[in-house]
A and B are shown apart, each in its own frame.
Chain A
Amino acid sequence: MIDLSIDFGGIKAPNPFWLASAPPTNSGYQIMKAFEAGWGGAVWKTLGVPVVNVSSRYGSLNYRNTRMMGFNNIELITDRPLADNLREIEEVKKYFPDHAVIASLMVESKAEWEQIIKDVENAGADGIELNFGCPHGMCERGMGSAVGQEPEVLKTIVGWVKEAANIPVITKLSPNISHITDPGLAAVQGGTDSISLINTIKSIVGIDLDSYAPYPIVDGKGSNGGYCGPAVKPIAMHMLKDLAQHPEIGKVPLSGIGGIETWRDVVEFILLGATSVQVCTAVMHYGFGIVREMEAGLRQFMEEKNYSTIYDFAGKALPNVTDWKHLNLKHKVVAEINPDKCIGCDLCYISCDDGAHQAIALPIDTTNRIPSIIEENCVGCNLCSLVCPVEDCITMVKRDDGTESLTWHERTLNDDIPVTFDDDRAGGKGHFVPTPEDALKHKR
């Protein structure tokens, strides 16, 4: 029997699918609609100091035929009256007492924090999320990512909030920082109950070639936005892993955010230690209905792997994410092309020849275009298998017998590492490369 319910640092929800604090959580109407659709929780669009928004707020990065693979926005926190938001929080909780309604907050002074915490608690919020991430507009006024980038300030504010709050506190971090563990540790030391990440990344999503202004364009000008959507997922997962593996930070629950759209994304975030996930861009693109695919996929995965709760596999990938120096240098894979599947686009050839290790040859027989691997040149980099447009046509095949293992770390300990520029123990020594003049034999 699969049970998707969670207890996220004291916040209970019927499932780990939450809406991130953003335009989809701007009103009680949207959140009720989302809960009806199957979402288990929602972080209300940030309540706080009064703001005014501009018209033209979003920009998109399209790739090939995919719209919004990257997305940025210059929208600020909610511009609706606080009283309206509080009334609607109360109303949503009346209809959905078991769903998680979390109030995202952003104010300045200690007194303001204390007041707004009291307000949302009175409205019936299940938790608070501190918006220390917004990288546009609000940070110019000393809030949002301005806090997230100053661990000491962050710790102080988390301390104020914890002192005032009776409900659980989530600290939402900004990725616009060198080491995510710095603000992560500050949040934990400030007493946060849990952490969510990432907020958006400072970005310029594109420049209009006629007006010379960045998107989104507001009367001929633009500002940096916050970048999100599928493109940021790898950055988010890396930061999540950094926190999850940290001995102190890893003890608090982590809510994963950043480019999540499908059940696969959800599972990957959970495997890296998240026990709730938050989604925004995918909902802004496709609506609340996408949660159906997420839930069905997650259930299917859990059924096949025989898991009953997400805690059964949360963090399961963490032991396998290690430092480079611990990777086995004796492991060896080479590419193999399946000639029955090959369609002869020769992208593997040109990508290897121009972009990798000149380990693929074109056929001498010109009646077909099926290339072949020059095994002695192949370093097993994967590039050909990544560019190949045919499923399972190029596979990376293991060549070592798995009996040997030696890491850089071990070699260092054994004093067996290259030390001079011409050291025989260096990796590339003796590896085939064509002569520079060979390049001139190619036409064009």
Chain B
Amino acid sequence: MAEYKRPKTEAEFKKNFKQKKPLMNDTEAYYEASRCLFCYDAPCVQACPTSIDIPLFIKQIHTDNITGASKTIFDSNWLGNACGVVCPVGVLCEGACVYNHQDVPPIQIGRLQNYATNKTIDADKVIFKVGEPNGKKIAIIGAGPAGIACACEARTLGYEVDIYEGKEKPSGLTVYGIAPYKITNEEVLKEVDYLQNQLGFNIKYNNAINSKEELNVLEKGYDVIFIGVGLGATRHLGLDGEDKNGVVGAVEFIEELRMKHHEVKIPAKVVVLGGGNTAMDAASEAARMGARKTVLAYRNSRKKMGAYGFEYDLAISAGVDSLFNVTPIAITGNGKVEGVKFAKTEMVEGKLQTNMNNTFVVRCDMVIKATGQAKQGHLYDLIDGLDIDNKTRIKINDEFQTSNPIYFAGGDAVNGGAEVVNAAYDGKMAAQGIHNWLTK
């Protein structure tokens, strides 16, 4: 069931990927802000990974102190603007709003946050101060949310900061990996520009750190190195026919879509493998790109899916069909994908079992694998004495310091893949950890 026409122009692309959380206008923000109860020890603040003082910034919006509201937001979260729209607010701040207990819609905290920061960014208001230079230098690997947040915080503490970024744009998955109906590239990049203009950290683009030699240069040139790398390429599933033309990884698919928009060609029938948020995004995006049929296939039941309920609903509303309790056993086709062979699964004594006697083929022209990304283990292996856990996550202490004391880390590299807001928090706290360590 195709609900979306294939976008042939940028305008048609924008229509299909209409922003889920459009910018509020002044009147809407004023009225929405007036609804906030200013709860004591507010649950929304407790639910925010960065503990933004939400009732305070909402009151500041209401009293037309927009700059003050932005200051409150950025003081806790350096990516406050992006987080306003990309955070899963339904399970964080807005999910905790006490209005939910009264069957009254919760305050639209995310949109209010985005309203304030957007205004401040567009007006290019100077609200941050670079710290007194302390002569120390920090190298950051990766200009994603963790790296940017770490850089901002470190600059306010007086450090010189260089970020080494493998790609040509900053902010990592925020620009390369988030569904285009959640945030536009312009919105992401202008926030980083705004921060960079005021805080003056350097980003060295197309400058991936991949070798021991490069690490040696960093170790010599800097007092501390912060690892803010994300996850790697989509993991290989080891299926028969996985190398056929038309089998792509979800992360790679989304990245191409974010960069090329309507120029990406999507065939008529698409199967998406996986049950996480990335799978929902990829399926929703394939449908919005005009695929006539998009099928989401997950090996367990709907209940067991890792994706948030609202993400699944969003995919379904875009016209995506879903198959549960099926596992792919082979990709069929002659050089090019023609279908996915599935086997039914069932729970037997608490364990998911594949029933090879019950198989079927779903015909398709494209398979998107949203079944997890590999970690950047090759990089970690190059660092002396760096402890990682059995899931290839870097181990850190409370100060975000790794077992190699000149290396700190945060974000996906330590949590295995979470939200932008978690990375933003880690980056900020790691900078404080670095400062504590260097000034001890």
Question: Which positions in A face B, CB cutoff 8 Å?
Answer: 64-65, 342-347, 349-350, 369, 389-390
Q: Write the B41-62 contact mask toward A (1 if CB under 8 angstroms, else 0).
A: 1010000000000000000001
* Across-interface contacts of A64 in B (CB, < 8 A): 34, 62
Contacts A64-B34, A65-B30, A65-B31: A346 and B41 contacting too (C-beta < 8 A)? yes
User: A-B pairs with the 10 shortest C-beta distances?
Assistant: A65-B34, A350-B40, A346-B40, A343-B101, A345-B39, A343-B98, A64-B34, A345-B98, A343-B102, A345-B37
* Across-interface contacts of A347 in B (CB, < 8 A): 37-40
Contacts A344-B98, A344-B101: A389 and B34 contacting too (C-beta < 8 A)? no
Contact status B40-A349, CB under 8 Å: yes
Task: Give Cα A347 to B43, complex, Å.
Answer: 12
B360 on the interface (CB 8 Å rule)? no
B222 on the interface (CB 8 Å rule)? no
The distance from the CB of A342 to the nearest CB of chain B, in whole angstroms, is 8
The distance from the CB of A191 to the nearest CB of chain B, in whole angstroms, is 50
Task: Give Cα A346 to B99, complex, Å.
Answer: 12
Task: Give Cα A390 to B40, complex, Å.
Answer: 15
Contact status A369-B43, CB under 8 Å: yes
The distance from the CB of B33 to the nearest CB of chain A, in whole angstroms, is 9
3-46 of chain B: CB within 8 A of chain A: 30-31, 34-35, 37-41, 43
Instruction: List 19 other contacts, CB 8 Å, given A65-B30, A349-B40.
Output: A64-B34, A65-B35, A342-B101, A343-B101, A343-B102, A344-B98, A344-B101, A345-B37, A345-B39, A345-B40, A346-B39, A346-B41, A347-B37, A347-B38, A347-B40, A369-B43, A369-B98, A389-B37, A390-B102
Which residue of B has the minimal Cβ distance to A368? B101
Which residue of A has the minimal Cβ distance to B100? A343
Task: Give Cα A345 to B36, complex, Å.
Answer: 10
Total contacts A to B, CB within 8 angstroms?
33
The distance from the CB of B27 to the nearest CB of chain A, in whole angstroms, is 10
Task: Give Cα A344 to B40, complex, Å.
Answer: 9
Which residue of B has the minimal Cβ distance to A344? B98
Contacts A349-B40, A350-B40, A369-B43: A343 and B34 contacting too (C-beta < 8 A)? no
* Across-interface contacts of B37 in A (CB, < 8 A): 345, 347, 389
Task: Give Cα A369 to B96, complex, Å.
Answer: 11
**Sampled A-B contacts (17; CB under 8 Å):** A64-B62, A65-B30, A343-B98, A343-B101, A344-B43, A344-B98, A345-B39, A345-B40, A345-B98, A346-B39, A346-B40, A347-B38, A349-B40, A350-B40, A369-B43, A389-B102, A390-B102
* Across-interface contacts of B99 in A (CB, < 8 A): 343
* Across-interface contacts of A350 in B (CB, < 8 A): 40
Task: Give Cα A345 to B107, complex, Å.
Answer: 13
Task: Give Cα A343 to B41, complex, Å.
Answer: 14
Task: Give Cα A389 to B34, complex, Å.
Answer: 13
The distance from the CB of B139 to the nearest CB of chain A, in whole angstroms, is 36
Task: Give Cα A389 to B62, complex, Å.
Answer: 19
* Across-interface contacts of A345 in B (CB, < 8 A): 37, 39-40, 98
Task: Give Cα A342 to B40, complex, Å.
Answer: 14
Task: Give Cα A346 to B44, complex, Å.
Answer: 13
Task: Give Cα A349 to B41, complex, Å.
Answer: 10
Task: Give Cα A350 to B102, complex, Å.
Answer: 20
The distance from the CB of A387 to the nearest CB of chain B, in whole angstroms, is 9
* Across-interface contacts of B31 in A (CB, < 8 A): 65
Task: Give Cα A369 to B30, complex, Å.
Answer: 28
Task: Give Cα A343 to B104, complex, Å.
Answer: 11
Task: Give Cα A39 to B62, complex, Å.
Answer: 37
* Across-interface contacts of A346 in B (CB, < 8 A): 39-41
The distance from the CB of A366 to the nearest CB of chain B, in whole angstroms, is 10
Task: Give Cα A347 to B39, complex, Å.
Answer: 6
* Across-interface contacts of B35 in A (CB, < 8 A): 65
* Across-interface contacts of B98 in A (CB, < 8 A): 343-345, 369
Task: Give Cα A132 to B107, complex, Å.
Answer: 48
Task: Give Cα A343 to B62, complex, Å.
Answer: 23
Which residue of A has the minimal Cβ distance to B36? A64
Task: Give Cα A422 to B62, complex, Å.
Answer: 47
The distance from the CB of A61 to the nearest CB of chain B, in whole angstroms, is 14
Task: Give Cα A346 to B62, complex, Å.
Answer: 21
Which residue of B has the minimal Cβ distance to A393? B102
* Across-interface contacts of A389 in B (CB, < 8 A): 37, 102
Task: Give Cα A30 to B99, complex, Å.
Answer: 44
Task: Give Cα A390 to B38, complex, Å.
Answer: 14
The distance from the CB of A63 to the nearest CB of chain B, in whole angstroms, is 9
The distance from the CB of B435 to the nearest CB of chain A, in whole angstroms, is 23
* Across-interface contacts of B43 in A (CB, < 8 A): 344, 369
Task: Give Cα A369 to B62, complex, Å.
Answer: 26
* Across-interface contacts of A349 in B (CB, < 8 A): 40
* Across-interface contacts of B102 in A (CB, < 8 A): 343, 389-390
* Across-interface contacts of A343 in B (CB, < 8 A): 98-99, 101-102
Interface centre among B30, B39, B43 (most CB of A within 10 A): B39
The distance from the CB of B60 to the nearest CB of chain A, in whole angstroms, is 14
The distance from the CB of B63 to the nearest CB of chain A, in whole angstroms, is 11
* Across-interface contacts of A65 in B (CB, < 8 A): 30-31, 34-35
* Across-interface contacts of A369 in B (CB, < 8 A): 43, 98
Interface centre among B34, B35, B102 (most CB of A within 10 A): B102
The distance from the CB of B222 to the nearest CB of chain A, in whole angstroms, is 36
